[in-house]
Every structure is written in structure tokens, then in C-alpha cells.
Amino acid sequence: MTSIFRSLRTLLVAVAALATASCGFHLRGSYNLPDEIQKLSITSFDKYGALTREMKTQLRLHDIDIIEPAERISNLRLNGESYGESTLSLYQNSRVAEKQFAYSVSYTVTVPDKGNYNFSTSLSRTYLDNPLTALAKSVEEEMLAQEMRVEATKQIMRQLARLNAHIEEFERKEAEEKALRELYQGFSEEKPSVSIETRFDGKDEPQGKPLSSYSTTPSDDTTEDSVEGDTTP
């Protein structure tokens, strides 16, 4: 009986795994990253900063090859990070009781032949400012900043997983613009002509050489004249 239950449990686990895979479900921390960024170079406003180091760690965790910048290699550019602090509440003695920290990162992804994509991610955290632990305040703030930095890099990974949609939109616009250019070029290559014919019966002919017919092509710089009929005054 034990072996039967073990076999049934294994079967149920296998069925559940297949069901989650077929519906597009992914485990937390697993991202379906585009093929264009499987090899990626990183440039940053702070080459050796904490954010750059944490971003490289996240990329390696998801099997992204980090290589030196090159012309045909996609690039992740960390443009900058910013911190903000605001007061949420006060004690009765007007001392700060609760604060909120805000953190944001802006970055640009460049995919060869697919364009540049600008993104930003932001998050916030609150904490109690205990006056009895003033010596530990700076340590707590640094730990909080590091926590937000790690979470920001995870959000960047999630945004990179959605880069496929941006690339498809870029390709769609490129195709539409190409079709319009080809259509316009087809019209411009045609040379419409206008033919005007004038005949005189001899009684109302103007003085000088009578003009019986001529044709002109508006797109050309020259006009051809032809003369037919009797020129006897």
C-alpha cells in the first residue's frame, strides 16, 4: 500500500507540474527573458557602486552572460538612483515618530536594430524613528537602503522579462513605416502627363506661327512643342 500511495503522489506532482507549465505559470524569481539579452553588457553612472554590483548579481542568478560592451551586444545602462525621505507622523513632543524612504532607479536598455527603451522603477519603505536608539539609526537606514536596492534590481529583472512586448511594438512600427515609405516611393516614381490640343480653322488664327498641339510632362524640366497644319497667312 505504501508503494501505491508513493506512486500516486509522484503522479499528482507530475500532473501539477505539467499543468502549471502549460498555462504559462512561472515560479517566483523565474523570468522568461528575451533572447536579445541573453548576452548583456552593463554600463553605469557608478561602475563600482552597490547598485551596479547588485544588478550584476541578479543577472548572473538568471544565467545572463555579462560581457564587455560591443556594437552588436545589448546593453543595460544604469542612469542613476535617487533617495527621498519624508515624515509621516510625529510624537506628542513634536519629534519625528515615523518616516518614509523613497528610492528610484532609472535605466536604459539598448537592443541592436531594435531601439532604445527607457525605464524607471521606484519603491518606498516606512520605519519608526525611535529616539532611544539614535546610535543605531544610521545602521538601520543603510540596511533599509540596501533592502530597497535589492528589491529594485528584482523589479528591473521583471521589467526586462516584459521587454519582448516593447520589441514587438518596435518591429510593428518599423514594418508600418517601411510599408509607407515603399508606397510613397511607388507614387513618386510615376510620371503623370497632361496633353493639351488646340486647333484653329484658319479664320481665328492668331498672328504668327499657329500652335495646333503640344504636350507637357509636369515632372520634367523641358516642354516639347509640335506644329501641324497650314501656315499660309
- Across 58-72, 78-92, 210-224, which has the greatest mean pLDDT? 58-72
DSSP E strand stretches across 19-114: 39-44, 65-66, 74-90, 96-111
Mean pLDDT for the stretch of residues 128-157: 81
Outline where DSSP puts E strands in the chain: 39-44, 65-66, 74-90, 96-111, 115-128, 194-197, 213-216, 224-226
- What tens digit of pLDDT does each residue of 84-139 get? 888 888 878 778 778 888 999 999 999 998 889 999 999 998 877 766 666 567 77
Identify the pLDDT of residue 224.
45
Q: What is the pLDDT of residue 220?
A: 46
Distance CA 142, CA 148 (A): 10
pLDDT at 197: 52
Is the model more confident about 59 or about 197? Answer: 59
pLDDT higher at 25 or 173: 173
Give the Cα separation of 132 and 27 in Å (integer).
42
54 and 149 Cβ atoms separated by less than 8 Å: yes
Q: What is the pLDDT of residue 98?
A: 84
Q: What is the pLDDT of residue 232?
A: 45
Q: What is the pLDDT of residues 166-209, one digit of tens each?
A: 787 777 877 787 788 877 776 666 655 555 554 545 555 455 44
Describe the strand order of the beta sheet including 74-90 as a list of residue ranges: 65-66, 39-44, 74-90, 96-111, 115-128
Residue 70, classed as helix, strand or coil, is coil
Closest CA to 52 of 149, 151, 139: 149
Residue 141 CB-density burial (10 A; 0-12 exposed, 13-18 middle, 19+ buried)? middle
What are the strands of the beta sheet with 213-216, ordered from one edge?
194-197, 213-216, 224-226
Provide the whole-model pTM: 0.60
- The cell 560592451 sits on which residue? 69
- What pLDDT does residue 8 have? 52
DSSP code, position 129:
-
Q: Would you put residue 80 in left (φ > 0), alpha (ψ -120 to 50) or beta?
A: left
